[in-house]
Amino acid sequence: MSKPLVSIVMGSDSDLEIMREAGKALDEFGIAYEIDVTSAHRSPERTAEFARKAAGRGIRVIIAGAGGAAHLAGVIAAHTTLPVIGVPIPSTSLNGMDSLLSTVQMPAGIPVATVAIGKPGATNAGILAAQMIALADASVAKKLEKHKEKLARGVKEKSNKLRSSLPR
């Protein structure tokens, strides 16, 4: 097995169903990853240590998903120079808006790249991590090009199907 380049972490194992989508995206591009649980609030020392040691383990990008107060991505970003992608997890009656605002509103100097709420965000986090890795890996860049081509073909097919089903 290849050494992981991306670390996918979440604040609770209840976030796994959503965060698996980031892993699926990374699988599509052949990028090895690790997946774990750590909490900004329940295990702050563990979270800080994880962030400080990630680069030394060969990690290039961290994807962090959390709901509610959603401070995980920001706490990790405070303890590493690696790029951190935050995935807001819907977990309250606010449908993830609380998580989105907690993840995106970072002070200057501690950036977190924030994606959409839930599964679409986790998928995009995986793709964004692949794009970051592709800056120094031509084989991943080629796979990303093929991914974009596949998306374009899908839209064209749907367009053709729709137009052929309409009365003339």
- C-alpha–C-alpha distance, residues 145 and 143, integer Å: 5
Buried b (16+ CB within 10 A) or exposed e, 49-60: ebbeebeeeebb
Q: Which residues contact 79 (CB under 8 A, 6 or more apart)?
A: 47, 48, 51, 52
How far, CA to CA in Å, does 115 sit from each of 62, 64, 142, 167? Answer: 13, 11, 23, 39
| 12 annotated ligand-binding residue | yes
CA atoms of 168 and 94, how far apart (whole Å): 45
Q: Position 91: which residue type? A: S
| Residue-wise DSSP of 33-60 | EEEEE--TTTSHHHHHHHHHHHGGGT--
- The strand pairing partners of 118, in sequence order, are none
**Is 137 known as a binding-site position?**
no
46 labelled ligand-binding: no
Backbone angles phi, psi at 58, to 5 degrees: 95, 5
Residues making up the annotated binding site are 12, 15, 42
Q: Which residues are annotated as a binding site for substrate?
A: 12, 15, 42
